[in-house]
Chains A and B, each alone.
Chain A
């Protein structure tokens, strides 16, 4: 079993839709949780970062962590064609330096 599981999609939605992207993880030692966005042929860029359970909102993006069920979510409101990219969840452990475990990534396409 992989430490982080993420549905690879592809996921196609119309412009303006609410998008829900999800990951599950198996290791309860993960303490902080990142979401990265990767455009085709580019390096991943940090989108959201949360520490412990709860919600964090940044503009149209909301990251949600439920440590009891080991479930990570990213919601995108009012999705735009520019949101079309691959989204990767990446939990990390504080006692392992900088190692992040990346999910496989979900490919999202927002159609105008």
Chain B
């Protein structure tokens, strides 16, 4: 157990729907990162939050949004889902930034049908 908790582990939903993925960081970590992993694109950085504030943004689609709450857990919201959104979504956390690396959760496997 890495200490980063992601729920749900698996999610199957239909095109056009909206889902929310949840992440609880390791105790003491203030930064949360979201990554998408697909077979053709590999691990792609989506967004980082630090202590409730957005800190860095990657190629995150406008249909996707995230937030970090006062208790430091984070949610990634995916809307108007398309088949191509099927992927593994990972959350990671670190104390501040990635200097020294960060810890990943076990991921949420999203399947859009």
Contact = CB atoms under 8 A, between A and B. Distances in A.
Nearest to B91: A43
Nearest to B44: A102
Q: Kindly list the 9 A-B residue pairs having the minimum CB-CB distance in the complex, ordered from nearest.
A: A43-B104, A98-B98, A97-B56, A102-B43, A46-B101, A97-B55, A98-B97, A104-B42, A43-B106
Contacts of B101: 34, 36, 46, 49
Interface string A29-68: 0001010100001111110010100000000000000000
B104 A99 contact: no
Range for the number of chain A residues in contact with chain B: 20 to 34
Nearest to B103: A46
Interface core residue of B43, B45, B55, B56 (most chain A CB under 10 Å): B43
Interface residues of B, number: 30
B48 interface: yes
Interface in A64-102: 88, 90, 92, 94, 96-102
B48 A43 contact: no
B43 to A, nearest CB: 4
Contacts of B45: 99-102
B84 interface: no
Interface string B70-113: 00000000000000000000101010111111111111010000
